[in-house]
């Protein structure tokens, strides 16, 4: 089954200054996902992905690798109730 799924994801490691957010916007947009991505002041990247379960799960898996310059140490994903709207975009650092 391919039910809609929305998750809140935190990515830890060398994920800022390596084009991680830009890569995320491209990858999520190519998949047709809704949501957003932003840097956090503590060095992590935060994202919300919403779409078909299999597509969201594939995006989470790809986040464990990220763009070529990234060095991801940990990715956590939890269910999220906020509906992110249409499209995928980058938000300001929080």
Position 7 pLDDT exceeds 90: yes
Q: What is the pLDDT of residues 73-88, one digit of tens each?
A: 999 999 999 889 899 9
Q: Is 74 a catalytic residue?
A: no
Residue 66 belongs to domain spanning: 4-82
Query: Cβ contacts of residue 91 below 8 Å, gap of 6+?
Result: 36, 37, 38
* Rg of the chain over all Cα atoms, to the nearest angstrom: 12
Residue 92 inside a domain? The answer is: no
The band of 3, judged by pLDDT with boundaries at 50, 70 and 90, is: low
Average pLDDT over residues 88-92: 97
Indicate which residue of 39, 44, 74, 91 is catalytic. 39
Query: Tokens 């940990």 correspond to what residue?
Result: 74
pTM over 0.85: yes
Q: How many domains does the chain have?
A: 1
- Contact between residue 15 and residue 66 where contact means Cβ atoms under 8 Å apart: yes
The band of 93, judged by pLDDT with boundaries at 50, 70 and 90, is: very high
Residue 90 inside a domain? The answer is: no
Q: Is 21 a catalytic residue?
A: yes
Residue 22 inside a domain? The answer is: yes
Indicate which residue of 2, 21, 64, 91 is catalytic. 21
Residue 88 inside a domain? The answer is: no
CATH code assigned at 58: 3.30.70.100
Average pLDDT over residues 24-36: 98
Count other C-beta atoms under 10 Å from residue 48's C-beta: 21
């Amino acid at each position: 089954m391919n039910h809609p799924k929305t998750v809140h994801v935190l990515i830890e490691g060398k994920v800022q200054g390596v084009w991680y957010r830009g890569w995320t916007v491209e990858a999520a947009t190519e998949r047709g996902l809704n949501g957003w991505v932003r840097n956090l002041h503590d060095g992590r990247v935060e994202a919300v992905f919403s779409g078909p379960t299999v597509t969201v799960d594939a995006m989470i898996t790809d986040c464990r690798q990220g763009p070529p310059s990234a060095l991801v140490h940990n990715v956590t994903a939890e269910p999220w109730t906020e509906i992110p709207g249409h499209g995928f975009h980058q938000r300001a650092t929080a």
